[in-house]
Structure 1
Protein backbone atom coordinates (compact mmCIF):
# COMPACT_ATOMS: atom_id res chain seq x y z
CA UNK A 1 0.00 0.00 0.00
CA UNK A 2 1.48 3.32 -1.10
CA UNK A 3 2.32 6.17 1.24
CA UNK A 4 0.17 9.25 0.64
CA UNK A 5 2.17 12.42 -0.09
CA UNK A 6 0.23 15.16 1.68
CA UNK A 7 0.29 18.27 -0.48
CA UNK A 8 -1.97 20.16 1.92
CA UNK A 9 0.44 19.74 4.83
CA UNK A 10 3.46 20.67 2.74
CA UNK A 11 1.67 23.75 1.38
CA UNK A 12 0.79 24.84 4.92
CA UNK A 13 4.46 24.57 5.89
CA UNK A 14 5.57 26.57 2.84
CA UNK A 15 2.95 29.24 3.55
CA UNK A 16 4.16 29.51 7.14
CA UNK A 17 7.69 30.00 5.82
CA UNK A 18 6.39 32.67 3.45
CA UNK A 19 4.68 34.41 6.35
CA UNK A 20 7.98 34.54 8.27
CA UNK A 21 9.79 35.87 5.18
CA UNK A 22 7.18 38.63 4.76
CA UNK A 23 7.75 39.71 8.36
CA UNK A 24 11.52 39.74 7.82
CA UNK A 25 11.20 41.79 4.61
CA UNK A 26 9.09 44.38 6.41
CA UNK A 27 11.24 44.50 9.55
CA UNK A 28 14.69 44.48 7.92
CA UNK A 29 14.07 46.32 4.67
CA UNK A 30 10.71 48.06 4.92
CA UNK A 31 9.44 46.06 1.92
CA UNK A 32 5.77 45.04 1.89
CA UNK A 33 5.30 42.40 -0.86
CA UNK A 34 2.22 42.89 -3.06
CA UNK A 35 0.50 40.67 -5.60
CA UNK A 36 -1.97 41.85 -8.26
CA UNK A 37 -4.50 39.29 -9.49
CA UNK A 38 -6.40 40.02 -12.71
CA UNK A 39 -9.64 38.20 -13.52
CA UNK A 40 -11.63 38.73 -16.73
CA UNK A 41 -15.11 37.23 -16.99
CA UNK A 42 -17.30 35.13 -14.73
CA UNK A 43 -15.87 31.63 -15.11
CA UNK A 44 -16.91 29.87 -11.85
CA UNK A 45 -13.73 27.80 -11.49
CA UNK A 46 -11.54 30.86 -12.11
CA UNK A 47 -13.44 32.81 -9.46
CA UNK A 48 -12.78 30.05 -6.93
CA UNK A 49 -9.08 29.92 -7.84
CA UNK A 50 -8.72 33.69 -7.55
CA UNK A 51 -10.52 33.77 -4.21
CA UNK A 52 -8.21 31.07 -2.82
CA UNK A 53 -5.09 32.81 -4.10
CA UNK A 54 -6.08 36.13 -2.56
CA UNK A 55 -7.07 34.52 0.73
CA UNK A 56 -3.80 32.63 1.09
CA UNK A 57 -1.75 35.66 0.05
CA UNK A 58 -3.39 37.75 2.74
CA UNK A 59 -2.90 34.99 5.33
CA UNK A 60 0.82 35.05 4.50
CA UNK A 61 0.90 38.83 4.90
CA UNK A 62 1.21 39.57 1.18
CA UNK A 63 -0.90 42.54 0.13
CA UNK A 64 -3.28 41.54 -2.65
CA UNK A 65 -4.83 43.78 -5.28
CA UNK A 66 -7.74 42.30 -7.18
CA UNK A 67 -8.65 43.58 -10.65
CA UNK A 68 -11.96 42.18 -11.97
CA UNK A 69 -13.38 42.95 -15.40
CA UNK A 70 -16.39 41.95 -17.48
CA UNK A 71 -15.92 39.28 -20.12
CA UNK A 72 -16.33 41.86 -22.91
CA UNK A 73 -13.02 43.58 -22.06
CA UNK A 74 -10.81 43.53 -25.15
CA UNK A 75 -7.11 42.78 -25.55
CA UNK A 76 -6.00 46.41 -25.83
CA UNK A 77 -7.89 47.43 -22.70
CA UNK A 78 -6.43 44.54 -20.75
CA UNK A 79 -2.94 45.44 -21.99
CA UNK A 80 -3.43 48.93 -20.55
CA UNK A 81 -4.22 47.38 -17.17
CA UNK A 82 -1.10 45.19 -17.36
CA UNK A 83 1.10 48.11 -18.36
CA UNK A 84 -0.19 50.12 -15.40
CA UNK A 85 0.70 47.27 -13.04
CA UNK A 86 4.11 46.90 -14.67
CA UNK A 87 4.82 50.57 -13.96
CA UNK A 88 3.59 50.44 -10.35
CA UNK A 89 6.69 49.93 -8.19
CA UNK A 90 4.50 48.92 -5.24
CA UNK A 91 3.36 45.78 -7.12
CA UNK A 92 5.85 42.90 -7.05
CA UNK A 93 3.87 40.18 -8.78
CA UNK A 94 1.22 40.10 -11.51
CA UNK A 95 -1.02 37.11 -12.13
CA UNK A 96 -3.58 36.99 -14.94
CA UNK A 97 -6.01 34.18 -14.24
CA UNK A 98 -6.32 31.76 -17.16
CA UNK A 99 -8.21 30.88 -19.25
CA UNK A 100 -9.04 34.29 -20.63
CA UNK A 101 -12.16 34.79 -22.79
CA UNK A 102 -11.63 33.44 -26.30
CA UNK A 103 -11.57 36.87 -27.98
CA UNK A 104 -8.58 38.02 -25.90
CA UNK A 105 -5.08 37.35 -27.25
CA UNK A 106 -3.75 35.42 -24.26
CA UNK A 107 -0.14 35.01 -25.53
CA UNK A 108 0.06 38.78 -26.08
CA UNK A 109 -1.16 39.42 -22.53
CA UNK A 110 1.32 36.97 -21.01
CA UNK A 111 4.13 38.49 -23.06
CA UNK A 112 3.03 41.94 -21.88
CA UNK A 113 3.61 41.16 -18.20
CA UNK A 114 7.03 42.42 -17.07
CA UNK A 115 9.25 39.34 -16.74
CA UNK A 116 10.42 40.34 -13.26
CA UNK A 117 6.76 40.47 -12.08
CA UNK A 118 5.64 37.30 -13.88
CA UNK A 119 4.93 35.15 -10.82
CA UNK A 120 3.25 32.45 -12.94
CA UNK A 121 6.60 31.91 -14.67
CA UNK A 122 5.07 31.86 -18.16
CA UNK A 123 6.94 34.79 -19.77
CA UNK A 124 9.38 33.82 -22.53
CA UNK A 125 12.24 35.45 -20.60
CA UNK A 126 11.60 33.26 -17.58
CA UNK A 127 11.13 30.10 -19.62
CA UNK A 128 14.33 30.90 -21.54
CA UNK A 129 16.28 31.40 -18.31
CA UNK A 130 14.88 28.15 -16.95
CA UNK A 131 15.97 26.30 -20.09
CA UNK A 132 19.45 27.83 -20.19
CA UNK A 133 20.08 27.67 -16.45
CA UNK A 134 21.20 31.30 -16.49
CA UNK A 135 20.01 33.97 -14.10
CA UNK A 136 17.28 33.46 -11.54
CA UNK A 137 13.98 32.89 -13.35
CA UNK A 138 10.55 32.95 -11.81
CA UNK A 139 9.61 29.31 -12.37
CA UNK A 140 6.14 27.91 -13.14
CA UNK A 141 4.33 27.11 -9.93
CA UNK A 142 2.83 23.68 -10.56
CA UNK A 143 6.13 22.10 -11.69
CA UNK A 144 7.83 23.65 -8.65
CA UNK A 145 5.24 22.02 -6.44
CA UNK A 146 5.74 18.65 -8.13
CA UNK A 147 9.49 18.67 -7.47
CA UNK A 148 9.00 19.73 -3.85
CA UNK A 149 6.52 16.89 -3.27
CA UNK A 150 8.87 14.34 -4.85
CA UNK A 151 11.60 15.53 -2.50
CA UNK A 152 9.16 15.40 0.40
CA UNK A 153 9.08 11.63 0.00
CA UNK A 154 12.47 10.81 -1.51
CA UNK A 155 14.68 13.43 0.13
CA UNK A 156 16.51 16.37 -1.42
CA UNK A 157 18.79 14.24 -3.58
CA UNK A 158 16.93 13.05 -6.70
CA UNK A 159 20.19 12.52 -8.62
CA UNK A 160 20.26 9.52 -10.94
CA UNK A 161 16.59 8.64 -10.67
CA UNK A 162 14.62 7.99 -13.84
CA UNK A 163 11.77 10.48 -14.04
CA UNK A 164 9.02 10.03 -16.63
CA UNK A 165 6.90 13.12 -17.31
CA UNK A 166 3.67 12.12 -19.01
CA UNK A 167 2.48 15.30 -20.75
CA UNK A 168 4.31 17.96 -22.73
CA UNK A 169 2.45 21.21 -22.07
CA UNK A 170 4.27 24.53 -21.77
CA UNK A 171 2.69 25.05 -18.36
CA UNK A 172 3.61 21.75 -16.69
CA UNK A 173 5.30 19.03 -18.72
CA UNK A 174 8.13 20.90 -20.43
CA UNK A 175 9.24 23.10 -17.50
CA UNK A 176 8.93 20.15 -15.10
CA UNK A 177 11.28 18.11 -17.29
CA UNK A 178 13.86 20.91 -17.20
CA UNK A 179 13.58 21.25 -13.41
CA UNK A 180 14.12 17.50 -13.02
CA UNK A 181 17.17 17.66 -15.28
CA UNK A 182 18.52 20.37 -12.98
CA UNK A 183 18.06 17.88 -10.13
CA UNK A 184 20.31 15.48 -12.14
CA UNK A 185 17.53 13.04 -12.97
CA UNK A 186 17.40 11.05 -16.17
CA UNK A 187 14.24 12.42 -17.77
CA UNK A 188 11.86 10.97 -20.35
CA UNK A 189 8.99 13.08 -21.69
CA UNK A 190 6.14 10.82 -22.80
CA UNK A 191 2.93 11.76 -24.60
CA UNK A 192 0.05 10.45 -26.69
CA UNK A 193 2.32 9.37 -29.56
CA UNK A 194 4.94 7.63 -27.43
CA UNK A 195 5.49 4.04 -28.53
CA UNK A 196 4.73 1.55 -25.73
CA UNK A 197 3.49 4.33 -23.47
CA UNK A 198 2.57 1.90 -20.72
CA UNK A 199 6.05 0.36 -20.74
CA UNK A 200 7.75 3.77 -20.67
CA UNK A 201 5.69 4.79 -17.65
CA UNK A 202 6.50 1.49 -15.93
CA UNK A 203 10.24 2.22 -16.27
CA UNK A 204 9.98 5.32 -14.05
CA UNK A 205 11.34 5.65 -10.53
CA UNK A 206 9.25 8.83 -10.43
CA UNK A 207 6.17 9.20 -12.60
CA UNK A 208 4.67 12.67 -13.08
CA UNK A 209 1.29 12.62 -14.84
CA UNK A 210 -0.19 15.76 -16.41
CA UNK A 211 -2.37 14.81 -19.38
CA UNK A 212 -5.87 16.02 -18.41
CA UNK A 213 -7.47 12.61 -18.95
CA UNK A 214 -9.28 11.21 -15.92
CA UNK A 215 -7.84 8.01 -14.45
CA UNK A 216 -5.82 7.26 -17.59
CA UNK A 217 -2.79 5.75 -15.84
CA UNK A 218 -3.58 2.38 -14.28
CA UNK A 219 -1.71 0.52 -11.58
CA UNK A 220 -0.29 -1.81 -14.24
CA UNK A 221 1.54 1.20 -15.74
CA UNK A 222 3.51 1.81 -12.54
CA UNK A 223 6.78 0.24 -11.42
CA UNK A 224 6.36 -1.35 -7.98
CA UNK A 225 7.58 1.13 -5.39
CA UNK A 226 7.66 4.13 -7.75
CA UNK A 227 6.76 7.64 -6.62
CA UNK A 228 3.70 8.95 -8.47
CA UNK A 229 2.88 12.65 -8.67
CA UNK A 230 -0.59 13.19 -10.17
CA UNK A 231 -1.06 16.71 -11.54
CA UNK A 232 -4.49 16.07 -13.06
CA UNK A 233 -7.74 17.34 -11.67
CA UNK A 234 -10.88 16.21 -13.45
CA UNK A 235 -14.54 16.17 -12.47
CA UNK A 236 -16.40 12.98 -13.34
CA UNK A 237 -20.04 12.04 -12.91
CA UNK A 238 -21.00 9.66 -10.13
CA UNK A 239 -24.59 8.64 -10.59
CA UNK A 240 -27.20 10.90 -12.08
CA UNK A 241 -26.88 14.01 -9.90
CA UNK A 242 -23.42 13.98 -8.34
CA UNK A 243 -19.77 14.19 -9.31
CA UNK A 244 -16.31 13.93 -7.79
CA UNK A 245 -12.77 15.03 -8.49
CA UNK A 246 -10.22 12.53 -9.74
CA UNK A 247 -6.70 12.75 -11.08
CA UNK A 248 -5.08 11.51 -14.27
CA UNK A 249 -4.06 8.37 -12.36
CA UNK A 250 -6.48 5.60 -11.40
CA UNK A 251 -5.83 6.12 -7.70
CA UNK A 252 -7.23 2.86 -6.33
CA UNK A 253 -5.19 0.57 -8.58
CA UNK A 254 -2.08 2.76 -8.29
CA UNK A 255 -2.31 2.70 -4.51
CA UNK A 256 -1.62 -1.05 -4.55
CA UNK A 257 1.58 -0.72 -6.60
CA UNK A 258 3.26 2.64 -6.02
CA UNK A 259 5.60 3.36 -3.16
CA UNK A 260 4.09 6.82 -2.69
CA UNK A 261 1.40 8.81 -4.46
CA UNK A 262 -0.27 12.21 -4.30
CA UNK A 263 -4.05 12.17 -3.77
CA UNK A 264 -6.53 14.23 -5.80
CA UNK A 265 -7.61 16.54 -4.36
CA UNK A 266 -5.05 17.39 -1.68
CA UNK A 267 -1.84 16.70 -3.58
CA UNK A 268 -0.33 19.03 -6.18
CA UNK A 269 -3.19 21.57 -6.14
CA UNK A 270 -2.40 23.26 -2.81
CA UNK A 271 1.28 23.43 -3.77
CA UNK A 272 0.59 25.57 -6.83
CA UNK A 273 -0.68 28.47 -4.72
CA UNK A 274 2.09 28.02 -2.13
CA UNK A 275 4.70 28.29 -4.90
CA UNK A 276 2.92 31.33 -6.35
CA UNK A 277 3.32 33.11 -3.00
CA UNK A 278 6.96 32.08 -2.86
CA UNK A 279 7.53 33.46 -6.38
CA UNK A 280 6.02 36.76 -5.23
CA UNK A 281 8.62 36.93 -2.44
CA UNK A 282 11.45 36.02 -4.83
CA UNK A 283 10.26 38.81 -7.13
CA UNK A 284 10.08 41.30 -4.25
CA UNK A 285 13.63 40.48 -3.19
CA UNK A 286 15.00 40.75 -6.73
CA UNK A 287 13.23 44.07 -7.35
CA UNK A 288 14.78 45.55 -4.19
CA UNK A 289 18.24 43.97 -4.67
CA UNK A 290 17.81 41.90 -1.51
CA UNK A 291 19.68 38.62 -1.10
CA UNK A 292 16.88 36.22 -0.29
CA UNK A 293 19.10 34.35 2.17
CA UNK A 294 19.00 37.38 4.44
CA UNK A 295 15.28 36.77 5.01
CA UNK A 296 15.34 32.98 4.91
CA UNK A 297 14.26 32.59 1.28
Structure 2
Protein backbone atom coordinates (compact mmCIF):
# COMPACT_ATOMS: atom_id res chain seq x y z
CA UNK A 1 0.00 0.00 0.00
CA UNK A 2 2.90 2.31 0.82
CA UNK A 3 4.43 1.69 -2.59
CA UNK A 4 1.07 2.32 -4.21
CA UNK A 5 0.74 5.62 -2.33
CA UNK A 6 4.19 6.67 -3.47
CA UNK A 7 3.28 5.85 -7.06
CA UNK A 8 0.12 7.93 -6.80
CA UNK A 9 2.07 10.83 -5.31
CA UNK A 10 4.27 10.82 -8.40
CA UNK A 11 1.17 11.38 -10.54
CA UNK A 12 -0.18 14.04 -8.18
CA UNK A 13 2.93 16.16 -8.08
CA UNK A 14 3.69 15.57 -11.75
CA UNK A 15 0.26 16.98 -12.56
CA UNK A 16 0.70 20.05 -10.37
CA UNK A 17 4.18 20.77 -11.73
CA UNK A 18 3.04 20.19 -15.32
CA UNK A 19 0.07 22.51 -14.76
CA UNK A 20 2.34 25.29 -13.55
CA UNK A 21 4.63 24.76 -16.53
CA UNK A 22 1.64 24.84 -18.87
CA UNK A 23 0.45 28.00 -17.16
CA UNK A 24 3.74 29.84 -17.42
CA UNK A 25 5.00 28.56 -20.77
CA UNK A 26 2.10 27.52 -23.00
CA UNK A 27 -0.18 30.39 -22.00
CA UNK A 28 2.76 32.77 -21.61
CA UNK A 29 3.70 31.99 -25.21
CA UNK A 30 0.17 32.90 -26.29
CA UNK A 31 0.06 36.07 -24.23
CA UNK A 32 3.43 37.09 -25.66
CA UNK A 33 2.28 36.65 -29.24
CA UNK A 34 -1.45 37.29 -29.48
CA UNK A 35 -1.61 40.90 -28.19
CA UNK A 36 0.98 41.83 -30.82
CA UNK A 37 -1.18 40.76 -33.73
CA UNK A 38 0.67 40.08 -36.97
CA UNK A 39 3.93 41.19 -35.37
CA UNK A 40 3.67 38.15 -33.15
CA UNK A 41 4.19 35.88 -36.15
CA UNK A 42 7.76 37.11 -36.56
CA UNK A 43 8.42 37.32 -32.83
CA UNK A 44 7.25 33.75 -32.38
CA UNK A 45 10.25 32.64 -34.45
CA UNK A 46 12.71 33.99 -31.89
CA UNK A 47 14.57 31.54 -29.67
CA UNK A 48 12.78 32.49 -26.45
CA UNK A 49 9.34 32.07 -28.01
CA UNK A 50 10.35 28.78 -29.61
CA UNK A 51 11.52 27.56 -26.19
CA UNK A 52 8.27 28.70 -24.60
CA UNK A 53 6.31 26.96 -27.33
CA UNK A 54 7.97 23.56 -26.97
CA UNK A 55 8.11 23.57 -23.16
CA UNK A 56 4.48 24.69 -23.02
CA UNK A 57 3.38 22.12 -25.58
CA UNK A 58 5.13 19.32 -23.68
CA UNK A 59 3.59 20.48 -20.40
CA UNK A 60 0.14 20.65 -21.99
CA UNK A 61 0.58 17.10 -23.27
CA UNK A 62 1.48 15.90 -19.79
CA UNK A 63 -1.52 17.67 -18.27
CA UNK A 64 -3.76 16.13 -20.92
CA UNK A 65 -2.50 12.59 -20.24
CA UNK A 66 -2.37 12.92 -16.46
CA UNK A 67 -5.96 14.12 -16.29
CA UNK A 68 -7.17 10.78 -17.66
CA UNK A 69 -4.91 8.90 -15.27
CA UNK A 70 -5.92 10.87 -12.18
CA UNK A 71 -9.64 10.78 -12.93
CA UNK A 72 -9.40 7.04 -13.56
CA UNK A 73 -7.42 6.39 -10.36
CA UNK A 74 -9.79 8.53 -8.30
CA UNK A 75 -12.83 6.78 -9.78
CA UNK A 76 -11.26 3.41 -9.01
CA UNK A 77 -9.56 3.78 -5.61
CA UNK A 78 -10.23 7.36 -4.52
CA UNK A 79 -11.48 8.03 -0.99
CA UNK A 80 -14.89 9.11 -2.24
CA UNK A 81 -18.44 7.77 -2.37
CA UNK A 82 -19.82 5.40 -4.99
CA UNK A 83 -22.03 8.16 -6.37
CA UNK A 84 -19.02 10.41 -6.87
CA UNK A 85 -17.08 7.60 -8.51
CA UNK A 86 -20.00 7.05 -10.87
CA UNK A 87 -19.94 10.70 -11.86
CA UNK A 88 -16.18 10.54 -12.40
CA UNK A 89 -16.58 7.56 -14.71
CA UNK A 90 -19.25 9.49 -16.62
CA UNK A 91 -16.93 12.49 -16.97
CA UNK A 92 -14.08 10.24 -18.08
CA UNK A 93 -16.12 8.44 -20.75
CA UNK A 94 -17.61 11.69 -22.08
CA UNK A 95 -14.17 13.27 -22.22
CA UNK A 96 -12.79 10.34 -24.18
CA UNK A 97 -15.76 10.56 -26.55
CA UNK A 98 -15.33 14.31 -27.14
CA UNK A 99 -11.58 13.96 -27.63
CA UNK A 100 -12.04 11.12 -30.11
CA UNK A 101 -14.51 13.25 -32.06
CA UNK A 102 -12.04 16.14 -31.97
CA UNK A 103 -9.32 13.78 -33.19
CA UNK A 104 -11.55 12.61 -36.04
CA UNK A 105 -12.30 16.22 -36.99
CA UNK A 106 -8.59 17.06 -36.83
CA UNK A 107 -6.67 18.29 -33.81
CA UNK A 108 -5.64 21.41 -35.72
CA UNK A 109 -9.23 22.20 -36.65
CA UNK A 110 -9.73 25.36 -34.60
CA UNK A 111 -13.30 25.66 -35.87
CA UNK A 112 -14.29 22.45 -34.08
CA UNK A 113 -16.71 22.80 -31.18
CA UNK A 114 -18.88 20.08 -29.68
CA UNK A 115 -22.65 20.60 -30.08
CA UNK A 116 -23.88 23.23 -27.65
CA UNK A 117 -26.30 20.92 -25.83
CA UNK A 118 -23.65 18.25 -25.28
CA UNK A 119 -21.17 20.86 -24.04
CA UNK A 120 -23.83 22.22 -21.69
CA UNK A 121 -24.60 18.78 -20.24
CA UNK A 122 -20.89 17.91 -20.02
CA UNK A 123 -20.10 21.03 -17.99
CA UNK A 124 -23.11 20.50 -15.71
CA UNK A 125 -21.86 16.98 -14.96
CA UNK A 126 -18.38 18.38 -14.24
CA UNK A 127 -19.83 20.96 -11.84
CA UNK A 128 -21.98 18.35 -10.09
CA UNK A 129 -18.96 16.08 -9.74
CA UNK A 130 -16.91 18.92 -8.24
CA UNK A 131 -19.54 19.42 -5.53
CA UNK A 132 -19.74 15.70 -4.81
CA UNK A 133 -15.96 15.46 -4.48
CA UNK A 134 -15.80 18.45 -2.14
CA UNK A 135 -18.58 16.93 -0.03
CA UNK A 136 -16.65 13.66 0.24
CA UNK A 137 -13.42 15.45 1.11
CA UNK A 138 -15.26 17.35 3.85
CA UNK A 139 -13.27 20.50 3.10
CA UNK A 140 -15.95 23.18 3.26
CA UNK A 141 -13.51 25.96 2.41
CA UNK A 142 -13.32 24.47 -1.09
CA UNK A 143 -16.95 25.49 -1.68
CA UNK A 144 -15.69 29.06 -1.40
CA UNK A 145 -12.41 28.57 -3.25
CA UNK A 146 -14.16 27.04 -6.26
CA UNK A 147 -16.38 30.12 -6.80
CA UNK A 148 -14.12 31.80 -9.41
CA UNK A 149 -14.15 28.61 -11.48
CA UNK A 150 -17.93 28.36 -11.13
CA UNK A 151 -18.21 31.93 -12.40
CA UNK A 152 -15.98 30.96 -15.31
CA UNK A 153 -18.30 28.05 -16.08
CA UNK A 154 -21.20 30.48 -15.70
CA UNK A 155 -19.83 32.60 -18.54
CA UNK A 156 -19.88 29.55 -20.80
CA UNK A 157 -23.28 28.36 -19.57
CA UNK A 158 -24.81 31.79 -20.17
CA UNK A 159 -23.60 31.90 -23.75
CA UNK A 160 -24.77 28.34 -24.38
CA UNK A 161 -28.21 29.10 -22.94
CA UNK A 162 -28.53 31.99 -25.38
CA UNK A 163 -27.77 29.65 -28.27
CA UNK A 164 -30.12 26.95 -27.01
CA UNK A 165 -33.06 29.18 -26.11
CA UNK A 166 -32.52 32.08 -28.54
CA UNK A 167 -33.29 34.36 -25.57
CA UNK A 168 -30.91 37.24 -24.95
CA UNK A 169 -31.94 37.42 -21.28
CA UNK A 170 -29.38 34.71 -20.53
CA UNK A 171 -26.73 37.20 -21.52
CA UNK A 172 -27.20 38.55 -18.01
CA UNK A 173 -25.73 35.31 -16.68
CA UNK A 174 -22.63 35.75 -18.81
CA UNK A 175 -22.39 39.44 -17.89
CA UNK A 176 -22.80 38.86 -14.15
CA UNK A 177 -20.28 36.02 -14.04
CA UNK A 178 -17.73 37.89 -16.13
CA UNK A 179 -18.20 41.10 -14.18
CA UNK A 180 -17.66 39.57 -10.74
CA UNK A 181 -15.00 37.01 -11.61
CA UNK A 182 -12.04 39.32 -11.02
CA UNK A 183 -13.48 40.65 -7.76
CA UNK A 184 -14.17 37.10 -6.58
CA UNK A 185 -10.53 36.12 -7.12
CA UNK A 186 -9.30 39.00 -4.98
CA UNK A 187 -11.84 38.39 -2.21
CA UNK A 188 -11.59 34.60 -2.15
CA UNK A 189 -7.81 34.59 -2.45
CA UNK A 190 -7.64 36.89 0.56
CA UNK A 191 -10.06 34.67 2.48
CA UNK A 192 -7.88 31.64 1.81
CA UNK A 193 -4.71 33.35 3.03
CA UNK A 194 -6.45 34.54 6.21
CA UNK A 195 -8.02 31.10 6.70
CA UNK A 196 -4.61 29.44 6.35
CA UNK A 197 -3.07 31.72 8.97
CA UNK A 198 -5.87 31.86 11.53
CA UNK A 199 -7.65 28.50 11.18
CA UNK A 200 -4.96 26.20 9.80
CA UNK A 201 -2.12 27.86 11.71
CA UNK A 202 0.29 27.86 8.78
CA UNK A 203 3.74 28.83 10.01
CA UNK A 204 4.38 32.51 9.31
CA UNK A 205 7.85 31.69 8.00
CA UNK A 206 6.19 30.68 4.72
CA UNK A 207 5.00 34.24 4.23
CA UNK A 208 8.47 35.79 4.44
CA UNK A 209 9.46 34.79 0.88
CA UNK A 210 5.93 35.66 -0.26
CA UNK A 211 6.32 39.18 1.11
CA UNK A 212 9.86 39.56 -0.24
CA UNK A 213 8.76 38.51 -3.72
CA UNK A 214 5.21 39.78 -3.86
CA UNK A 215 5.21 43.18 -2.18
CA UNK A 216 8.00 44.93 -4.13
CA UNK A 217 6.78 43.69 -7.52
CA UNK A 218 3.17 44.60 -6.76
CA UNK A 219 4.08 48.08 -5.51
CA UNK A 220 6.31 48.72 -8.52
CA UNK A 221 3.54 47.62 -10.88
CA UNK A 222 0.72 49.37 -9.02
CA UNK A 223 2.47 52.74 -9.14
CA UNK A 224 4.19 52.02 -12.48
CA UNK A 225 7.60 52.81 -10.99
CA UNK A 226 9.25 50.80 -13.76
CA UNK A 227 7.71 51.84 -17.09
CA UNK A 228 6.03 48.97 -18.88
CA UNK A 229 5.82 46.50 -16.00
CA UNK A 230 2.21 47.41 -15.21
CA UNK A 231 1.23 46.93 -18.86
CA UNK A 232 3.07 43.60 -19.03
CA UNK A 233 1.37 42.39 -15.87
CA UNK A 234 -1.95 43.69 -17.16
CA UNK A 235 -1.60 41.56 -20.27
CA UNK A 236 -0.21 38.50 -18.56
CA UNK A 237 -2.35 37.75 -15.54
CA UNK A 238 -5.82 38.22 -17.03
CA UNK A 239 -4.93 36.03 -20.00
CA UNK A 240 -2.98 33.15 -18.50
CA UNK A 241 -5.48 32.83 -15.67
CA UNK A 242 -8.50 33.29 -17.93
CA UNK A 243 -9.85 36.17 -15.83
CA UNK A 244 -12.66 38.38 -17.12
CA UNK A 245 -13.85 41.72 -15.76
CA UNK A 246 -10.36 42.95 -14.90
CA UNK A 247 -9.87 46.61 -13.94
CA UNK A 248 -6.63 48.50 -14.47
CA UNK A 249 -5.66 48.38 -10.79
CA UNK A 250 -6.24 44.65 -10.37
CA UNK A 251 -3.23 42.81 -11.91
CA UNK A 252 -0.72 43.84 -9.19
CA UNK A 253 -3.26 42.75 -6.57
CA UNK A 254 -3.72 39.43 -8.39
CA UNK A 255 0.03 38.90 -8.33
CA UNK A 256 0.33 39.67 -4.62
CA UNK A 257 -2.59 37.45 -3.62
CA UNK A 258 -1.42 34.64 -5.92
CA UNK A 259 2.04 34.64 -4.32
CA UNK A 260 0.62 34.61 -0.79
CA UNK A 261 -1.93 31.93 -1.71
CA UNK A 262 0.81 29.80 -3.27
CA UNK A 263 2.97 29.91 -0.16
CA UNK A 264 -0.12 29.36 2.01
CA UNK A 265 -0.92 26.16 0.14
CA UNK A 266 2.70 24.99 0.38
CA UNK A 267 2.76 25.70 4.11
CA UNK A 268 -0.58 23.94 4.46
CA UNK A 269 0.78 20.64 3.12
CA UNK A 270 2.18 19.60 6.50
CA UNK A 271 -1.14 20.12 8.31
CA UNK A 272 -3.71 19.32 5.64
CA UNK A 273 -2.42 17.50 2.58
CA UNK A 274 -5.84 17.11 0.96
CA UNK A 275 -6.63 20.81 1.04
CA UNK A 276 -3.09 21.77 0.11
CA UNK A 277 -3.09 19.65 -3.04
CA UNK A 278 -6.56 20.81 -4.06
CA UNK A 279 -5.57 24.46 -3.73
CA UNK A 280 -2.29 23.92 -5.57
CA UNK A 281 -4.34 22.32 -8.33
CA UNK A 282 -6.68 25.31 -8.46
CA UNK A 283 -3.78 27.78 -8.45
CA UNK A 284 -1.97 26.00 -11.26
CA UNK A 285 -4.96 25.84 -13.57
CA UNK A 286 -7.83 27.99 -14.75
CA UNK A 287 -10.29 28.20 -17.61
CA UNK A 288 -9.30 29.95 -20.82
CA UNK A 289 -12.12 31.37 -22.87
CA UNK A 290 -10.70 31.20 -26.37
CA UNK A 291 -10.22 27.43 -26.07
CA UNK A 292 -13.52 26.35 -24.58
CA UNK A 293 -13.71 23.35 -26.91
CA UNK A 294 -10.71 21.89 -25.10
CA UNK A 295 -11.79 19.33 -22.54
CA UNK A 296 -8.37 19.70 -20.91
CA UNK A 297 -9.10 23.21 -19.67
CA UNK A 298 -12.69 22.42 -18.75
CA UNK A 299 -11.54 19.52 -16.56
CA UNK A 300 -8.92 21.47 -14.63
CA UNK A 301 -11.14 22.59 -11.72
CA UNK A 302 -12.44 19.04 -11.27
CA UNK A 303 -9.00 17.45 -11.41
CA UNK A 304 -7.77 20.03 -8.89
CA UNK A 305 -10.29 18.97 -6.25
CA UNK A 306 -9.88 15.23 -6.85
CA UNK A 307 -6.18 15.51 -6.02
CA UNK A 308 -7.22 15.58 -2.39
CA UNK A 309 -9.04 12.25 -2.72
CA UNK A 310 -5.83 10.46 -3.66
CA UNK A 311 -3.66 11.30 -0.66
* TM tier, smaller: under 0.3
More helix by share: 2
More strand by share: 1
What TM-score do you get using the length of structure 1 for normalisation?
Answer: 0.27
